[in-house]
Amino acid sequence: MAWMFLFASLLQAASAGPPDSLTAHLRSNADLGAQRDIRADWSDGVLRLSAVKAERHAWAAVPAPKEGWNLAGRATVECEVVNTGDNPAGVMLWVVGNHGWDAVLDQAVLAPKESRVFSCELRAAFPDGTPKLNPGDVKQVQVMLAEPAPGPARAGDKSCVQARLTPRITRAVSVEVRNLAARGQAPVWKRPSGRLDVPDLEDALPAPGKRVRYRLPSDEGTGIYSVLHLPEDWRPGNAYPVVVEFPGNVFFAPACYSTGFPEQCVIGHGITQGRGAICLGLPFVDRAAGRVVENGWGNADETAEHALKMVAEVCSKFGGDRENVVLTGFSRGAIACGYIGLRNDSIAALWKGFHACQHYDGDGWNGATLQGALERGVRFQGKAVFQTDNPREKFQPVMDVMNTQVTWADSGLGFHSTAMFLDDRPSTQQLRGWFWKLVSTQK
């Protein structure tokens, strides 16, 4: 029987074919992608990574070559990681998509000198079966380092001995990454009906259909920027509704891949499908440091002031309709609808409606208390609010003081992600209908 099992294993391996190396285009360190709080060295086919201190993970990326990787028929992306240091190392292997969907992950804690094969399932799905990733459109493989935190991986699960990962690095960690490759065969990936792709972010002048990094004149030379997406049917001289969006907080965990930057604002594109309205992704800002803030509110008053100026800019230069400006956001961005969007009377007057996904002002995160939300809520002057994946019983008191029409919807995605807005699902269709009806009525 043993020889039959061995024969079957060899046959299966042969049918899968040889692995496809994902590093054949790398020649030197200059070919690596984004790096953060890490020392990265590529030589002799091995990626050596080390970090001494980091506030929120340390990472290096292996970017796809210009022609992309041919992963549409592959099952996994794998590599071997060896902990070459003297301290335990938390390792996260991410395969990151290119157009606004989620990423897929494998993670583990390696003891000193321990090695492990990491494997990311390219056909991984959200709990409702929606694919997380288009394997034919991957922009990078990202290796993150972290530290283990004591306690079970899941709250209340004392039987789970796998350590959790904390984003900070306080002790030196180092690893080697070897044999990064696509492995296994899978049926060629087929695009789900109705799925949208978010256009690539470009450093270019605004133009119809383009999604560009945009700075106010006063922010030139700083790291503060927004993301401006004119609809593909944009024409000068016409007026367009504006979807203004705040992004989620930086969060790299099994439940979420979120950078915290405005380019992760994709709800507006999901609502408009790229036509008929302007989409504006806004940052949280720290003006003293001249940067976009990925974690927390930055300076909340400065963030509100920047939002006011950007909306005025879009309306004056690109035909944004001041009477039809709708604010939306995911997670931190959803809380920001009230916490930032109703911070004072001036900014509160901008909005015709709110859409919030998975959180809202008053849930207590980072100072957004219920009492504060109730006080801010009375400033709302819009006509309607749409809540996606938020518990009605929790936020109804805030809706009551806002004195507005409220729609509650459940996406069914079952995950902390904005992926539902790029799918043609019932809750997304309902949101689109709500938006177009809202901006077609008088304020």
Whether 133 and 263 map to the same domain: the answer is: no
Q: What's the pLDDT score for residue 16?
A: 53
Q: At what angle do helices 370-377 and 332-339 cross, to 10 degrees?
A: 50
CA angle 307, 313, 316 (to 5 degrees): 140
Which pTM does this prediction carry? 0.92
> What is the number of structural domains in the chain?
2
Q: What's the pLDDT score for residue 179?
A: 97
Do 422 and 98 touch, CB atoms closer than 8 A?
no
Which of 124, 158, 185 corresponds to the end of one domain? 185
Whether 330 and 390 map to the same domain: the answer is: yes
Which of 185, 214, 230 corresponds to the end of one domain? 185
Residue 6 has pLDDT above 50, yes or no: no
Q: pLDDT digits over 56-71, tens only?
A: 899 999 999 999 998 9
Containing structural domain, residue 26: 13-185
Q: What's the pLDDT score for residue 99?
A: 82
Q: What's the pLDDT score for residue 149?
A: 83
> What does residue 409 show for φ and ψ, rounded to 5 degrees?
-135, 145
Whether 155 and 277 map to the same domain: the answer is: no
Q: What is the mean pLDDT of the chain?
A: 92
| CATH code for position 388 | 3.40.50.1820
Whether 328 and 424 map to the same domain: the answer is: yes
Strand 240-246 relative to strand 320-330, pairing: parallel
Specify burial of residue 332 (Cβ count, 10 A radius: 0-12, 13-18, 19+): buried
The answer to whether residue 192 is domain-embedded is no
Residue 141 has pLDDT above 90, yes or no: yes
Q: What is the rounded distance in angstroms from the CA atom of residue 403 to the CA atom of residue 385?
A: 10
The answer to whether residue 286 is domain-embedded is yes
Contacts of the segment 11-19: beta carbons below 8 A, 24+ positions apart: 15/185, 16/75, 16/183, 16/184, 16/185, 17/185, 19/78, 19/179, 19/181, 19/182, 19/183
Q: What's the pLDDT score for residue 151?
A: 61
Whether 280 and 387 map to the same domain: the answer is: yes
User: What percent of the chain has a predicted confidence (pLDDT) above 90?
Assistant: 87
